[in-house]
Amino acid sequence: MLIDSHAHLDSPRYAEDREALLRRAWEAGVRAVLSIGIGDGPETMHQALEIAREFKDRPEIPTIFASTGIHPHEAQLADEKAYEKLDQLLQQPEVIACGEIGLDYFYDHSPRDIQKAAFRRQMEIAAGRKRPIIIHCRPSDGSTNAWDDTLQILEEAWKPTGLGGVLHCFTGEWDHARRALDAGFLISFAGNITFPKAQPIRDAAAQVPLDGILVETDAPFLAPVPNRGKRNEPAFVREVAAKLAEVRGISPELAASRTSENFRRFFGTGPQPERPAD
């Protein structure tokens, strides 16, 4: 069994075949997907929840959970109305996390001080609703600037809540992972773990304790080899788990079951492992 801990199921790129790709995910062994609710800004951050509800209790479709949050790219769209909406969404039972939130100094679509303010405000709202947070962090090219700021903010403002979270699409160094683990975070690896030039990501994946790891697709982005460059989808989380297994010298089945177990333990919900048929 596999769990895709991060996919943008509300992407318009799935408008034509969302149900078919969820069925393909099921066929690939995916039993749950965390549907990330950032939309293309606060106006559409409820769409992930709608998808979770639309596909609830359907046979041969993975269980879909939702998150909700304002991505650092759209931080400058965060106004009181957006924060109110965030707070409302976080009270829904299907919405198990706040995110993805954080800092992106690679694109700098929103000014950095505004990104930091939106990040902190969303942490306060998530803490009020007792939801863990999903972190997006991308530094400037050749720098660790966004990691330094993100980890400092997490250690100071989030660690004391004890709620923890997930560092999604991890691309940092072991020391960043270690500090996040100490603050109660899981480290989630994405399709870029399969890219030939991504040895530093594989090195980190070899070092993080196995009970601190999740796998994700970040679909529709970042499709793993051999589908690199194409539209990504949750079924391809299999390639991510297979690469993780290779890096750690364990079987793909063990990588799949342990990362699924980590998801269930951390979020306190998720599909149970299937017993073999008689």
Binding mask 202-241 for Zn ion (x = CB under 5 A): ----------------x-----------------------
Helices of type H across the chain? 18-27, 47-54, 80-90, 112-128, 145-153, 174-182, 199-207, 237-248, 252-267
Q: Using alpha carbons only, what angle is made at residue 232 by residues 9 and 75, rounded to the nearest 5 degrees?
A: 55
Judged by beta carbon, residue 165 or residue 245, the one nearer Zn ion is: 165
CB of 98 or CB of 245, closer to Zn ion: 98
Piece of the chain touching Zn ion by CB under 5 A; list 52-60, 132-140, 158-166, 196-204: 132-140
Which residue lies nearer to Zn ion by CB, 10 or 218? Answer: 218
Q: Which is nearer to Zn ion, 42 or 245 (CB)?
A: 42
Question: How many residues make contact with Zn ion (CB under 5 A)?
Answer: 3
Task: Reply yes or no: is the peptide bond before residue 100 cis, omega within 30 of 0.
Answer: yes
Strand order through the sheet with 133-138: 2-7, 30-35, 63-68, 95-104, 133-138, 165-167, 185-189, 213-215
Q: Which is nearer to Zn ion, 167 or 256 (by Cβ)? A: 167
CA-nearest of 117, 133, 135 to 76 is: 117
Of 77-116, binders to Zn ion (CB under 5 A) are: 100
State in angstroms the smallest separation of the CB of 176 from Zn ion: 15
The least CB distance from residue 46 to Zn ion, in Å, is 17
Give the count of beta carbons closer than 10 Å to the beta carbon of residue 188.
26
Closest CA to 62 of 9, 139, 118: 9
Please state the closest distance from residue 36 (CB atom) to Zn ion, in A.
Answer: 5
Shortest Å, Cβ 137 to Zn ion:
8
For residue 8, the minimal CB distance to Zn ion (Å) is 6
Angle between helices 112-128 and 80-90 (to 10 degrees): 40
Taking the complex as a whole, the smallest distance from the CB of residue 40 to Zn ion amounts, in Å, to 12
Site for Zn ion in 247-276 (CB under 5 A): none
Residue of the chain from 121, 136, 178, 258 that contacts Zn ion (CB under 5 A): 136
Contact 97, 38 (CB under 8 A): no
* Cβ at position 250, least distance to Zn ion in Å: 26
Contacts of residue 223, defined as CB under 8 A and 6 or more positions apart, other chains included, come to 191, 217, 229, 230, 231, 232, 233, 236
Residue number, 84 or 108, with CB nearest to Zn ion: 108
Q: Which is nearer to Zn ion, 69 or 245 (CB)?
A: 69
Q: Which amino acid is at 69?
A: G
Beta bridge partners of 178: none
Q: Which residues bind Zn ion (CB under 5 A)?
A: 100, 136, 218
